[in-house]
Structure formats: structure tokens, C-alpha cells
Amino acid sequence: MAGPNILLTRIDNRLVHGQVGVTWAGSLGANLVLVANDAAAADPVQQNLMDMVVSDGVQTRYFTLQKTIDVIHKAAAHQKILLVCKTPQDVLTLVKGGVPIHAVNVGNMHFAEGKRQIHKTVSVDDADVQAFRELAALKVVCEIRRVPDESGDLVSKLL
């Protein structure tokens, strides 16, 4: 096998919710939603809540960033993976760890103290900007798009 069949990598600070577990997974034909997030990997309550919004026939896995780096290349050929991360820093960690990510869908990054809004659903702080710039330097295209049928905006043009 050439590598894991990652259909889409998405940044969403909510991780898995209806838009991800139903709309994106269905649109892509994903049969596995892999959440790469250290906190979610250790929180069975959060995992159960996320499992409730995933379409029938779609499996879920909750791995730490390091476990994702360690096992993603062992994914079976039939696994069509929707990879979900919470932050651009998480994606950068995966890319630097050898996970073959070439494009990122940025769905939702809530506004919070110290962040500035660059799009309707995306707010960033200096650490986020730095991570996006590093991803761009690594030739990873980051595009803001909430749902599959919406046109996207390149993050690099909004920073």
C-alpha cells in the first residue's frame, strides 16, 4: 500500500459533531473518523458523545497525536479516513511526525480571548498563525470550508 487512505484532514475545535460525523463523512465516503487529539483520546465520555453523531457504518478511533504518528501507516487499504484535529498545531505535529497530510480543511476555530477573527468561523492567535505558516512552508494547503458544497478560502490569504 502506498500509504494511509486519508480522504480529508479537518481542523475543528469541536472535533466530531453532526457536520463532521454525518455531512463530511458522507460526502467523502469515509468509513473511519480518526480523531487525533491527546485530550479526546483520554476522555471516554467525550468519545461516547462524539460516537452518537457519526453515521451508521462509520467507525471512530480516538488516538493521541503520537499514536496517530505511530500507527497511521498501518491503516488497512479499505479504511477511508477522515482525520480530525482540534488545532493547526496538532496538524503540524502530525505532518512533522510523517503523517502524509497535503491539504487541510479548516472548519471551525472559535473566537476566544487573544484571538482575532479572520473568517466567519475561524479565529486565530499568534501560535495558530505560526502553525499555519509552518504548514504552508511544508507545502500543506489549508482551506477554510465549513461544509462540502461551500466554496473555500485559503488561510494563507487571510493571515
Active site residues: 17
β-partners of residue 102 are: none
What residue type is 74 in one-letter code? Answer: K
Cα distance between residue 82 and residue 119, in whole Å: 23
C-alpha pair distances (Å), 71 with each of 41, 54, 87, 141: 14, 22, 20, 24
CB atoms within 10 A of CB 118: 20
Helix, strand, coil % (nearest 5) of the chain? 35, 25, 40
